[in-house]
Amino acid sequence: MQTFITAEAEPTKEFFVDMITRDIPVDRAILDLIDNSIDGAHRISDEENFSKLFVELNISKEKFIIKDNCGGIPENIAKTQAFVFGKPKDYKSEKHSIGRFGIGMKRALFKIGKHFQIISHENNFSFKLDVDTDDWVSNKIWDFKLEKIDKEETFGTEIIIDKIHSGIQNDFELQYFTDELIKEVSKTHSLIIQKGFKIIINGKEVSHESFLLKQSEYLIPEVISLVHKVDNKEVNIKIYSGLSDRDINKGGWYIFCNDRLILDADKSSITGWKYDELPKYHPDFAFFRGYVTFDSDDADLLPWTTTKTGLNSDSELYKIVFFEMKKVMKKVISFLRSRAEEDSRFNKGTISSNPMSQLIENAPSITFLKITKEMQFSYSSDTPEELELPPARGRIQYSKLQDELEFLKEYIGVSTNKDVGIYTFDYFLELARSENE
C-alpha cells in the first residue's frame, strides 16, 4: 500500500515580491501606474478627445501620490482582476488597454514603498484599500480587503505610497530624477497627450514629444496601412517612413503599441539596421525617421514585452510588419546615400548647395499622425532654380583668446561669443559694401 504525504509548494510572498520588482527601474514602475490611468480614460471615453481627463503625480522622499479623474476602478475589475497577480483565465482585455500582463500596478506599489492606500470612486462603487506590505508579506493570505466608502462627485483613483524605500527616497529627492521622468513620460505617452490627455508631475504639465516627418509637393513620405486578424480580432498597423531634421540621436525607428511608445529611435538589427543588405546606422542617415503604430482592442495581440519597453521580435505579427519596414527603409536609405554623395561633390559635406539636401531643408515638418492617407516615398528631380531655393549659407568657425573675447563682448555690449562673431561680420560686411559703392 502506497503512503503519501503533502509537501508544500506554494511560492513565498517574499520571493514573489522580490522577483516582480527586481528588474524594473522605479521610473518604469511609475509609468505602469500612469498606464492604469490611461486605461481608465479609454474606458470612459468613446472619442479620441481626452481634453477633460488628467493624471497628476506628486513625488517627494516622504510620499508618492498619483491621482486621476479617469472613472475609478469598476467593482467587477476591483474584485476579480485589479489585485490579482497576473491575469485570470477568464480575463477579458479592456478596449485599447496598455495594462497587458496584470502585474504593473502591484509591482509599482511594492517597488516604491512599504505602505500604500488606494482610494477609488467609480460610478456605482467606491472603495479604500490600506496595506502595510510587511504585514501582508508575513501573512499567508494573498487576498486584499477592500473597504466600501461613500461616493464622491469626481470619479477617479488616488494612490498614496509612503514609507518609501531608502534607495528610492534618494531618487525622489533629486530634481534630476523628476526632470528625466518628465522627459520619459513626454516620449512614452506623446500620442495620448496630443489627444488632450493631461499628465502633471510635481505641478508641471508634461508636453508631448514631437514625432515629425518632412512633407511637401517635392518630398513625400511613405505611409502603409495593414490589418492583421487573429481569431476574428483585428490589429491595425500603420508604417510611416521618411525624413525629418538631421539628428543623429533621434534618427531610427519608433514603435508604438496602443499609443504607448515601446521602442525609441531604434538603430539595431531588430528594426532592420545592418540586416541582410541594409546598412549599419550612420550619421549620413540621421535624417531618417520611421514610425510604426500597432492598435488593437486586445492588447495580448500586440508585439511588446512585459515591461512594455521592448519589442517581441519573435511575434508572427512583427515578422510580417518587419518585412514591410525593410522595404520602405531601403527607399529612404537609397535617397540619403545619394544625398551624401552629392554633398561631398557640391560643398565638401555642407548641406547648403546640394539640391537633394535642400529638398529636406525646405520641406515643412508635420506630426506623423496628421498624415492620414497612404502614399509612397518619392522626391522631386527638379533643378535648384526650378525649386526656387534660398541662397546657400556657410559657417564661420574660429577660436580666439578668452580674455580678448570677454573684452570685445563688454565693448560691443553683447553676452555670447556667437554675438561677437555676428556683430563683427556684419560690421565689416557693411564697411566693405559702402567702400565698393
Q: Where are the domains of the chain?
A: 13-205, 212-387, 396-428
Query: What is the reported pLDDT for 381?
Result: 64
Q: Are strands 252-257 and 288-295 parallel, antiparallel or unpaired?
A: parallel
Angle in degrees, 0-180, between the axes of helices 175-188 and 26-44, rounded to the nearest 10 = 40
Query: What is the reported pLDDT for 383?
Result: 46
Cβ atoms 192, 34 nearer than 8 A: no
| In the chain, % of residues over pLDDT 90 | 52
Span 232-247, mean pLDDT? Answer: 94
Q: Show the cell assigned to 345.
A: 561633390
Asked if residue 334 has pLDDT above 80, the reply is yes
347 or 313, which is more confident: 313
In angstroms, rounded to a whole number, what is the distance separating the alpha carbons of residues 59 and 48?
29
Asked if residue 27 has pLDDT above 90, the reply is yes
pLDDT bin (cut points 50, 70, 90) of residue 353 is low
Which pLDDT tens digit goes with each residue over 293-309? 999 988 888 888 766 77
This model's pTM is above 0.95: no
Say what the alpha-carbon torsion angle 34, 40, 41, 44 is, to the nearest 10 degrees.
-170
Which pLDDT tens digit goes with each residue over 204-223? 999 998 899 999 988 999 99
* Domain 13-205 fold: Heat Shock Protein 90 (3.30.565)
Burial class (CB in 10 A: 0-12, 13-18, 19+), 3: exposed
Query: What is the reported pLDDT for 349?
Result: 46
What dotted CATH number matches 212-387?
Answer: 3.30.230
In angstroms, rounded to a whole number, what is the distance separating the alpha carbons of residues 183 and 344?
36
194 or 353, which is more confident: 194
Residue 199: Cβ within 10 Å count: 24
Span 342-355, mean pLDDT? Answer: 61
The beta strands (E) that lie in 288-351 are given as 288-295
